[in-house]
Amino acid sequence: MNESAALSPREIRTDLRPRDPDSGHPANLADILERVLDKGIVIAGDIQINLLDIELLTIKLRLLVASVDRAREMGINWWETDPQLSSGAGQLQRENDELRERLAQLEERNA
């Protein structure tokens, strides 16, 4: 190796933070978060509690971190119909309750 190609101790990278592949500068939290939300990340884990080879409790954890657009691309949109998260879903729940009540009244009349 010739001397011009050798790295001096000052040029050796000691900063081990993630680097932005486009610019070579350290990636900041916003860049990392943008990449994670754009691509998505799944974290999965299982917790089992056994006593003398008898399974007492199993908890399966699945966590998906992605942007709303990316989640919709994957076919995930449960928040749009969850009454706790969507005002439109609350109206649908009220309509559903009213229809069930009317149906029960009609069934009582016909019985």
Question: What is the per-residue pLDDT across 37-83, written as a single tens digit (0 to 9) for each?
Answer: 777 777 788 889 998 888 899 999 888 888 888 888 888 888 777 76
What span, in angstroms and rounded, lies between the C-alpha atoms of 111 and 103? 12
Per-residue pLDDT at 2: 46
State yes or no: pLDDT of 19 exceeds 60: no
Strand 41-51 relative to strand 54-65, pairing:
antiparallel
Which segment, 10-14, 32-36, 79-83, 107-111, is predicted with the most confidence on average?
107-111
State yes or no: pLDDT of 15 exceeds 70: no
Per-residue pLDDT at 81: 73
For 31-68, give the DSSP string: HHHHHHHHH-EEEEEEEEEEETTEEEEEEEEEEEE--H
Cα 22 to its chain centre, rounded Å, is 26
Provide mean pLDDT across the span 10-30.
Answer: 60
Per-residue pLDDT at 89: 65
Q: What is the mean pLDDT of the chain?
A: 76
Tell me the CB-side half-sphere exposure of residue 109, using CA atoms within 13 A: 6
Which segment, 26-35, 44-53, 99-108, is predicted with the most confidence on average?
99-108
Q: Nearest to residue 31, comparing CAs of 42, 40, 41, 20?
A: 20
Cα 58 to its chain centre, rounded Å, is 21
